[in-house]
Amino acid sequence: MDLLRIVTAGSVDDGKSTLIGRLLLDSKALDSDVVSAVQDASRRYRSDSINLALVTDGLRSEREQGITIDVAYRYFSTTVRKFILTDTPGHVGYTRNMVTGASNAEVALIMIDARNGVVEQSRRHAVISSLLGIDHIIVCINKMDLLNYNQEVYESIKTRFASLMTRLEVTNVEYIPTSALNGDNVVERSNNMPWFTGEPLLKRLEHLPVKDGLETLPLRLPVQHVIKTEHDHYRGYAGSIASGELHKGDRVRILPSGYETIVTTIETPRGTVEQATAPDAVTVRLSDDVQISRGDLICSLDEWPQISKTVDATVCWMDHQTPMKEGCVYSIKQATNSAKAVVNRVEAKFNITSLTGEPETKSLKLNDIGRVILDVDQPLVFDDYSKNRITGSFILINETTNATVAAGMIGSPRFSFSLNSD
């Protein structure tokens, strides 16, 4: 069975955690002891019925406040497919957590409270999903039971959100009216909304087509470690294949040096193999004694990544203490490469409401998303994020505190935005 990675997002109290709880409960993915524990916890928190949000809201502070703060992962499977569900915070103060949780997702479930419609956080999470290159978005218009399952409310919200998706240039969008609390259109079709002719959520997740995996992309093998022994002159280059396939006998190129050589041996934890694919961990031996170090990249001859000391990127700022400003210096970690990077220019900050850039902005604060130019003290080897999420992403690290202060995506975002000079 294949694996589908899903991220849930939405504003506070839109019902994300309850939806996940309902999905796991009704699909028989929860063990009996887990159900008993949730029932006991529900009684302690004076809930008249089982509080499904407690399945994912594991932190005590989350249970006390009734919101999701941390990123929670849940694993389950059906007879059709395996899933990893990521429940991310809805509050604007934890936008960085949503970026982290969504970074590897293939599908985004965006929750909208039918009573409130499309709010700022709905837009924010739609923008982030688009920036992160998530190919499929399912919009669950939730709490329909509180509005007597009114079709007009559903259609109105759908129309407004579809307009936003058009501006973000996202085409694979589906809409499902749900009541996570009662289970309407989550695992089983709802008898309360006969006007909705689509499939329930679980059925869509089981049969949603996903794009080809990393193994179909050009070969990218970032070198993580050089293994040398003196007594037998052994030299191997270890790392995880970021994308593509590697075969014994392949002629490859080493970047940034540009050396060409031939793969003579591919070693894995299961022994020596003739070929390996992403995301296998391998140690490669080469026919030539070329100079290779950690941070270099082994790639195919005909499909090169880019090499540059200047990076044009979109970043989400994660530091709550200090903003990003022009001239600030950070450590940049991209694939296995680490270097120093200075902020040459903050080009614009995204305005989530207008979907325009604010060019007069010279800094980015906590949870801001913006376009920046970075100058790096040594060449980076990378792809556009839209082509390869692994070699096209990076983090920035505060050299003093060693804290991760930004997550970045190299290249232009999927959607175009105008600069607002007002």
CA-based nearest residue to 161, from 110, 94, 92: 110
Both tokens assigned to 220: 């990218």
**Nearest to 291, CA basis, from 219, 222, 226, 382:** 226
CB 87: neighbour CB atoms within 10 A? 27
> Whole-angstrom Cα distance, residue 281 to residue 347?
38
pLDDT of residue 129: 87
Query: Which pLDDT belongs to residue 201?
Result: 95
Domains of the chain: 3-207 (3.40.50.300), 215-300 (2.40.30.10), 306-410 (2.40.30.10)
What's residue 101's pLDDT?
72
Task: Supply the pLDDT for residue 351.
Answer: 81
What the block records as the tokens of 78 is: 């059906």
User: Measured between alpha carbons, how far is 330 from 332 in angstroms, rounded to an integer?
Assistant: 6
Instruction: Kindly give the confidence (pLDDT) of every residue in the chain, 422 residues in length, as a single tens digit, with 9 standing for 90 and above.
Output: 688 899 888 887 788 878 888 888 888 877 676 667 666 666 666 666 666 666 665 544 444 444 444 566 788 888 999 998 887 765 565 566 777 777 788 899 999 999 999 988 888 888 888 888 888 999 999 999 999 999 999 999 999 999 999 988 888 999 999 998 899 999 999 999 999 999 999 999 999 887 667 888 999 999 999 999 877 788 999 999 999 999 999 999 999 999 999 999 999 999 999 999 998 999 999 999 888 999 999 999 988 999 999 999 999 898 888 999 999 999 999 999 999 999 999 988 888 777 777 777 889 998 888 899 999 999 999 999 989 989 999 999 999 999 999 999 998 776 665 555 44
CB 261 within 8 A of CB 252: yes
Output the pLDDT for position 112.
Answer: 94
The tokens 């082994």 sit on which residue? 298
Peptide bond before residue 256 is cis, with ω within 30 degrees of 0? yes
